[in-house]
């Protein structure tokens, strides 16, 4: 089965992201807006049980932290993906790095760029129009992060929560 690990922002930020995703993201119906901590990976039940224990330890060692989003950016020319850029914080980087060490599968393809996707897989012309208009828009969002989610993929391609891990509140 395929799994992934994400942070879901508050409803306010999800609503803002979804106002664009509805039109510009073909994955809109598959998963809510999120910050990816661990790209999708294959795991059997035994490995997931071991990782759940590890994720509880990681969550227990974390304190809540705030994130700031103050611009729209893009992964072009690699892909026509547009996103809310989450300012990197040491807590976020540490969380990401811990999910790429130890028993976790080593499936890191790209450098960690904390973000919330708002548009992807756009044709070049549409991408240029959408990005130029969004990049001029003033974006100022803040959120408090106190948990992350282990997700699994259903047969229809959508993702659902397997377990939520709250900082400082997990029992191993």
Q: How many CA atoms lie within 13 A of 118 on its CB side?
A: 25
Largest Cα separation within the chain, whole Å, is 51
Distances (CA, A) of 89 to 46, 66, 86, 98: 32, 9, 9, 14
The DSSP output letter for 88 is: P
The CA distance from 41 to 63, in Å, is: 26
Catalytic residue (one of 57, 68, 100, 115): 115
Which is catalytic among the residues 34, 57, 68, 100? 34
Is 115 labeled as catalytic in the residue annotation? yes
Active site residue 27: no
Number of helices and strands in the chain (H, E): 4, 8
Catalytic residues: 34, 115
């Amino acid at each position: 089965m395929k799994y992934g690990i994400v942070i879901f922002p508050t409803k306010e930020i999800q609503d803002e992201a979804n106002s664009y995703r509805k039109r510009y993201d073909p994955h809109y119906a598959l998963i809510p807006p999120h910050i990816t901590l661990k790209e999708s990976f294959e795991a059997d039940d035994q490995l997931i049980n071991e990782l759940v224990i590890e994720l509880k330890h990681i969550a227990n060692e974390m304190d809540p932290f705030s994130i700031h989003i103050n611009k729209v950016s893009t992964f072009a020319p690699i892909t026509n993906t547009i996103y809310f850029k989450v300012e990197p914080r040491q807590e976020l980087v540490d969380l990401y790095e811990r999910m790429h060490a130890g028993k976790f599968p080593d499936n890191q393809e790209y450098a960690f760029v904390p973000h919330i996707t708002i548009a992807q897989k756009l044709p070049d012309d549409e991408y240029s129009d959408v990005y130029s208009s969004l990049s001029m828009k003033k974006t100022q969002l803040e959120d408090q992060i106190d948990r992350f989610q282990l997700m699994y993929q259903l047969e229809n391609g959508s993702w659902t929560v397997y377990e939520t891990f709250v900082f400082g509140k997990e029992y191993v």
